[in-house]
Amino acid sequence: MPDPSLYITDFLTWLNHQVSALKHRNGDVLDWDNLAEELTLTGISEKNELKSRLIVLLSHLLKWQYQADKRSISWFTTIANQRDDLQDLLEENPGLGKYIPDLVSKAYRNARREAAAETGMELAIFPDVCCYKIEQILNPQFICNTTKDFQKAIIEAQQ
């Protein structure tokens, strides 16, 4: 019989017991309710990570586009790193891909506010809806309506 109180008092021990029971196919000792809850939360966590990375990426794309005179290696690196991390996340969890269209619109609202706050520019300067196609957002060669390769963008950012 499972001890559901462990779930609250010692999560790691509870988790190890659940893993062991699963590996040994011992369904009698599984804490089904809490296990189902944790699996649900894991899926939510993966979607939240996707949204969070999209927010950072989109806010930096907006800053790159709308504040060209302040472009920096730091912004450039953040854009590249977020794209790499998004690619890794989507490779590890291909099922997340179907959530991208919805999450882009949600993430864009946050990214727009973040870009306005960080640049000191009026929120109204930034488009109300995402101005980038999903293919552009994820494309490592795309920076704000250009297809310049990253080497050129780095040189440009350093000037």
**Domain membership flag for residue 34:** no
Tokens of 127: 């488009």
**Domain membership flag for residue 104:** yes
**Domain membership flag for residue 56:** yes
Q: Does residue 50 contact residue 86 with C-beta atoms inside 8 Å?
A: yes
Which range among 23-37, 108-122, 128-142 has the greatest average pLDDT? 108-122
Tens digit of each residue's pLDDT (9 = 90 or more) over 10-69: 999 999 999 999 999 999 999 999 999 999 999 899 999 999 999 999 999 999 999 988
Write out 55-111 in H/E/C secondary structure: HHHHHHHHHHHHCHHHCCHHHHHHHHHHHHHHHHHHHHCHHHHHHHHHHHHHHHHHH
**Domain membership flag for residue 82:** yes
**Domain membership flag for residue 147:** yes
Write out 36-56 in H/E/C secondary structure: HHHHHHHHHHHHHHHHHHHHH
**Domain membership flag for residue 3:** no
Domain coverage including residue 55? 49-158
Total domains in the chain come to 1
pLDDT at 127 over 50: yes
**Domain membership flag for residue 22:** no
**Domain membership flag for residue 21:** no
